[in-house]
Amino acid sequence: MNRIWLQSYPPGVPPEVDLKRLSSLGELVDHACTAYRELPAYEQFGTTLSYGELDELSRAFAAWLQSVGLAKGDRIAIMLPNCLQYPVVLFGALRAGLVVVNTNPLYTGRELAHQLEDSGALAIVVLENFAHVVEEVVPHTQLKHVLVTAVGDLLPKPKSWLVNFIVRYRRKQVPPWHIPQAVALRSVLRAGRALHFRPAPLGSDDLAFLQYTGGTTGVAKGAMLTHGNLCANLLQALAWIDGYFSGEPGTLITAIPLYHVFALTANCLLFAYLGWKNVLIINARDFPALVAEMKRHKFEFFSGVNTLFNALLHTPGFAEVDFSELKITLGGGMAVQAAVAQRWKEVTGKILSQAWGLTETSPAVAINPIGDDFNGSVGLPIPSTEVTIKDDAGNDVPLGEPGEVCVRGPQVMRGYWNRPDETAAVLMPEGWLRTGDIGYMNPKGFVYLQDRKKDMILVSGFNVYPNEVEEIAVTHPAVLEAAAIAQPDEHSGEVVALFVVPKDPSVTAQDIIDFCRKSLAAYKVPKHVYFRKDLPKSNVGKILRKELRAELIG
């Protein structure tokens, strides 16, 4: 095909990457821990974990996993926020050949149970703050090992005692829980140091992650991402940004959650390969604390979503952060608004570059040239990546005309875990992935997104699928029918709006919101509820969300 985007590539960016340069994430960890052994790898609460310490701890964890019979290909869930334990557990599991199931710590029991049951996870590592949710679902899963850790467990004493005391007793952020088979991650790491670790033989075709994402059915599916997928995307991103750094390891701040595929590849894997120091932010919603942490470092890379950038710009003290070393600000996960990009440039003196990808593409597909002014595009297809725009019949549409954006490249997933029908619906025989996004490509090769083919709602970069919300809402005894759509929001980009036909006219909007909150993660809970006598439907009875959206926009 005619890869017209190559004409717009920044100087030095190759059209292809050498995929043989890195074959597995186990190789990545070995490289990082050997080449940068004495350098700082991760920092949190003023405590630094070196690459050498990361090597020892992840080896110990891998050895323990092998000692209890967990083998290559077994699934392990990680239910952790951005804390020092996350890279230790992640890299240990990968070195042992396990398949990682990243799990949102804010999941409700219903959401967690589905993910654990579907993946067949045999082990889970969870922060004690969320152990009560795991307790709720253990009987309904195949879990054999539950490992629990506290926020301060990898900090030196007495700081660890102090942090854990504050979290447990001062802030009361750890609800009671009781899981008889649970063991402390600290004791596991201690035991693992005395065990022999056998590196798992890993290749590019081996599964590395089941990264869960929603679908038009509202049922979360596990995208099968291989070691080759993640290594390819790392090398593709590296080829794009490498020329903007000095070549010496620098510092980045990670505020977006590592369990999200954007931060997983862009912040965790890529910069470990480069030997950088990664400053972890455990709660990015505490904007004053985030700004205070940013003031402590001269950082060269910062990534986030539009809502995070917007919130920071409205946080007192942000303008006083030292941005002198900042080389790249990367926005993804949701559309970056032009007003936010402009304000970011005014306050920081730096360009906010927009990128785009999907869970199914590990995730990067397109990135704007670093340093170019914001143009509303999601960027150019990155090296070794092809993008085409197709109609519903699978035919390419003329340049500049809208259609479904389709992607082909080494970062495209193998398929959906145990869902051949869903896989066949998105993966075409020629290797093209149907993204479900409607957009077009201009004559210079820049991709512009216009709308989503699916009815997905994007709340602060997280996918919310209407059917899931509706299925919960209609179980309320006072609800006859419900339809969920996206409502624009200045803080979250979009929020969930729910149209309801009530059975009982005395039911209130707050009643329904409170009801949904029991079964849905906070970002999925409707923020607005509108009551209707009936809902618009097609001649076969399908609710017409498009009409509701038009009505809401007015």
**pLDDT per residue as tens digits for the range 395-412:** 999 999 999 999 999 999
Phi/psi of residue 183, nearest 5 degrees: -130, 155
Q: What is the pTM of this model?
A: 0.88
Q: For residue 217, give the nearest of 466, 406, 33, 425 by alpha carbon.
A: 466
pLDDT over 60 at 170, yes or no = yes
CATH of domain 49-202: 3.40.50.980
CA 341 to chain centre: 21
What pLDDT, on the 0 to 100 scale, is given for residue 217?
Answer: 44
CA 38 to chain centre: 29
Give me the percent of the chain exceeding a pLDDT of 90.
84
Please report which confidence band the pLDDT of residue 451 belongs to, taking 50, 70 and 90 as the band edges. Answer: low
What pLDDT, on the 0 to 100 scale, is given for residue 371?
Answer: 92
Q: Say which residue, 411 or 491, is predicted with more confidence.
A: 411
Quick: pLDDT tens for 210-264. Answer: 999 864 345 789 999 999 999 999 999 999 999 899 889 999 999 999 999 999 9
CATH of domain 457-553: 3.30.300.30
Lowest mean pLDDT among 45-49, 122-126, 536-540: 536-540
Q: What is the mean pLDDT of residues 296-307?
A: 94
What pLDDT, on the 0 to 100 scale, is given for residue 554?
Answer: 66
CA 356, CA 448: separation in Å to the nearest integer? Answer: 10
Where exactly does CATH 3.30.300.30 map onto the chain? 457-553
Lowest mean pLDDT among 138-142, 356-360, 546-550: 546-550
Q: What is the mean pLDDT of residues 506-528?
A: 96
Structure tokens at 62: 């891998």
What pLDDT, on the 0 to 100 scale, is given for residue 218?
Answer: 54
Please report which confidence band the pLDDT of residue 179 belongs to, taking 50, 70 and 90 as the band edges. Answer: very high
> Which secondary-structure segment (H or E) carries 208?
strand 207-213
What pLDDT, on the 0 to 100 scale, is given for residue 102?
Answer: 97
pLDDT over 90 at 64, yes or no = yes
What pLDDT, on the 0 to 100 scale, is given for residue 429?
Answer: 87
Q: How many residues does the chain have?
A: 554
User: 77, 105 in Cβ contact below 8 A?
Assistant: no
Q: For residue 100, give the nearest of 229, 231, 207, 184 by alpha carbon.
A: 207
Average pLDDT over all residues of the chain: 94
What pLDDT, on the 0 to 100 scale, is given for residue 546?
Answer: 83
Quick: pLDDT tens for 364-385. Answer: 999 999 999 999 999 999 999 9
Where exactly does CATH 3.40.50.980 map onto the chain? 49-202
CA 181, CA 142: separation in Å to the nearest integer? Answer: 13
Give me the percent of the chain exceeding a pLDDT of 70.
97
pLDDT over 50 at 540, yes or no = no
pLDDT over 70 at 354, yes or no = yes
Q: Are strands 352-357 and 328-331 parallel, antiparallel or unpaired?
A: parallel
